Amino acid sequence: MTKSFNLNNRWFYLVAGVFAMLFSGVLYAWSILKTPFMTEYKWDASVLSLNFTLTMCFFCIGAFLGSLICKKIGPRFTLLISGALVGLGFVLSGLLGIKTPYLLYITYAVLAGMGIGISYNVIVSTVCAWFPDKKGLSSGALMMGFGVSTLLLGNVINTLFESSTFGWQKTYIVLGVTIALVIVLVSFILKLPGADIELPAPKMKKSAGKEIFEVRDYTTIEMLKSFTFWRAFLFLAFITAVGNSVISFAKDLAISVNASPDLATTLVGVLSICNGVGRILTGAFFDAFGRRITMVSANILTIVAAGVTLLAVLLNSLPVLIIGLCLCGLSYGSCPTITSAFPAAFYGQKHFSVNYSIMSANLMLAALIANLSNSILGFSGGYVAPFIMLLAVAVCALILTFTIRKP
């Protein structure tokens, strides 16, 4: 028997999910969170870059584990585990003082990274289950919360770092406790829709083309056997790598074209805003125009973004760089939304949680490519060579997206 359900109630779950993602997204504030290790311990860029790469890897591992655990014990207890891991990771970072990179890798990358990966997957899969008719919009709103975290929390973190009362160690402890409490709170709010609840069916737009989505629910093994999946996986890794690279050196890039340190910090915030806006715009675009147009448009935007930023470097132009960073933020914002909406649209909702965690693993490959761009930056001593490489990667992605067909 179908149970009547007030559709307005599902928007409350979306708001709660966005709130939790806002705090979980502090993971992307690494450009600010790494500051004490640079200033106090004089660790070089390669050590800190490796920590972020490891964090992305354990984030993906956490997302996969979260999907499996959630199927066994449900979203509430899975999120409680997530909150414990995140809180422990940040609190230990503050209590231990982290005087060696290996401790940082364990507390920040392994514990906090994995914990946030778990909450990320559980929140996205649980909330999006209530919106089969608005996959793009719901995932885009969640990704926006995750993306703008750096902007909204970054300045607070930086202020606490410089405070004589707090300092970086107490800031890490406060941050860990706060994120853990938010995740625990949301764990008592979110729930999956019951089988007896009827939700609106997805509507196909004429403008979405001839692709027919959700013919059936694919298991994870069936998805992995599909060449379509691997093409989409590589496509997402390639365009994500462009944004990852720019985020990792955005402040230094701005300073290299004569921006003041304060303006450079502000531009990192602008990049974060555009990242968040790109996520929700891509979600709405996906719902309105379908997979094919959305992916091609996001890819072209990525190529233009990398090209404009390269032009700014060649011309040593700050105004052109500001445009380039805004475009890079918008293009990067499209990636997580597509990562979420694509497996739901192509492979169904039944196994979405696990399928989504596998698709999210493209972040590992993207992080490795971003590491390569940073290495090229170190070898070449300038930003021209890295952006030429990133442009080539983005063009390869465009070739891939034209080969993607429905399974």
233 confidence band (pLDDT: 50, 70, 90): very high
pLDDT over 50 at 208, yes or no = no
CA max distance for the chain: 67
Question: Rounded to an integer, what distance in angstroms lies between the CA atom of residue 117 and that of residue 6?
Answer: 31
Give Cα 155 distance to the centre of its chain.
20
Token representation of residue 222: 């069936």
pLDDT the model gives residue 390? 95
DSSP letters along 15-68, please? HHHHHHHHHHGGGGGHHHHTHHHHHTS---HHHHHHHHHHHHHHHHHHHHHHHH
Average pLDDT over residues 15-34: 86
Looking at residue 111, what DSSP letter applies?
I
Residue 97 contacts residue 37 (beta carbons within 8 Å): no
Which range of 27-41, 43-57, 390-404 scores highest in mean pLDDT? It is 390-404
Domains of the chain: 7-194 (1.20.1250.20), 214-407 (1.20.1250.20)
Q: What is the pLDDT of residues 258-301, one digit of tens each?
A: 988 778 877 877 887 888 788 888 888 887 888 889 999 999 99
Residue 342 contacts residue 232 (beta carbons within 8 Å): yes
pLDDT over 60 at 175, yes or no = yes
pLDDT: which is higher, 407 or 71: 71
Residue 149 contacts residue 29 (beta carbons within 8 Å): yes
Question: Rounded to an integer, what distance in angstroms lies between the CA atom of residue 173 and that of residue 181?
Answer: 12
pLDDT over 90 at 189, yes or no = yes
The partner residues of 197 in beta bridges, in order of sequence, read: 3
Average pLDDT over residues 374-400: 92
Q: Considering the entire predicted model, what is its pTM?
A: 0.79
pLDDT over 60 at 361, yes or no = yes
Token representation of residue 400: 């891939």
The partner residues of 328 in beta bridges, in order of sequence, read: none
pLDDT over 90 at 351, yes or no = no
34 confidence band (pLDDT: 50, 70, 90): confident
6 burial class (0-12, 13-18, 19+ CB within 10 angstroms)?
A: exposed
pLDDT the model gives residue 108? 93
353 confidence band (pLDDT: 50, 70, 90): confident
pLDDT: which is higher, 214 or 37: 37
Rounded mean pLDDT of the chain? 86
Question: Rounded to an integer, what distance in angstroms lies between the CA atom of residue 265 and that of residue 4?
Answer: 50
